[in-house]
Amino acid sequence: MNFTILRCPLRIPLVHPYVAGRCIRRVPPSGQRQLSSTLRRPTSQPASDPPHDEATICGYPTIKALASGARPTDPPTILIDVREPAEYAAGHIPTAKNLPVMTKPDAFFLPRDEFRDVVGWDKPDGAPVVFYCKAGVRSAAAAGLARRAGWRAVREYPGSWVDWCEREKEGKGE
């Protein structure tokens, strides 16, 4: 299989395979390379990876309301920090649970009882979830894995921990 790297206008470092998949396309069998000047999703989206739209994105006000309990949902929305345990221990958004996507990506596909043994908390069967990391790359990967594993109501906080810290400092007048 031949691949060609497309020009990526955002100059995103291609660290994770899920993110890399957005910037790499298969070279057509004819051998002609198709280059694109922009980063685009394929027009025909596989059923296992629904289109990424505005409804899947959460901003700081939504996360702040969820973390403070000011916006109760039924079932409760679960904030999931996908950074590594050491990063999570150093600081996280209140009420967030830890699911390190880089060291435990298979956890998304585990049955309920095994999930609890591996991760330490109950699998959010059907409950809405919001993923965040440090800067948004790992949370996008985690959201993609969760959708492929059949999780419902999957959303992302692309600003992630960096945005949360900046906004919290602004709110405290620091």
Q: How many residues does the chain have?
A: 174
Residue 72 pLDDT class (50, 70, 90 cuts): confident
Q: What is the pLDDT of residue 68?
A: 87
- Measure the CA dihedral 132/49/110/121, to 10°: 30
Question: 3-class DSSP state for residue 122?
Answer: coil
Give the distance from CA 171 to its chain's centroid: 26
The 10s digit of each residue's pLDDT in 12-69 is: 444 444 444 443 333 444 444 443 333 333 434 444 444 444 568 999 999 999 888 7
Q: Which of 37-51, 78-92, 107-121, 123-137 is predicted least confidently? A: 37-51
- The per-residue pLDDT for 161 is 95
Q: Is the pLDDT of residue 139 over 90?
A: yes
81: closest CA among 92, 89, 72? Answer: 92
Q: What local confidence, expressed as pLDDT, does residue 69 receive?
A: 79
Average pLDDT over residues 83-90: 97
Residue 42, amino acid: P
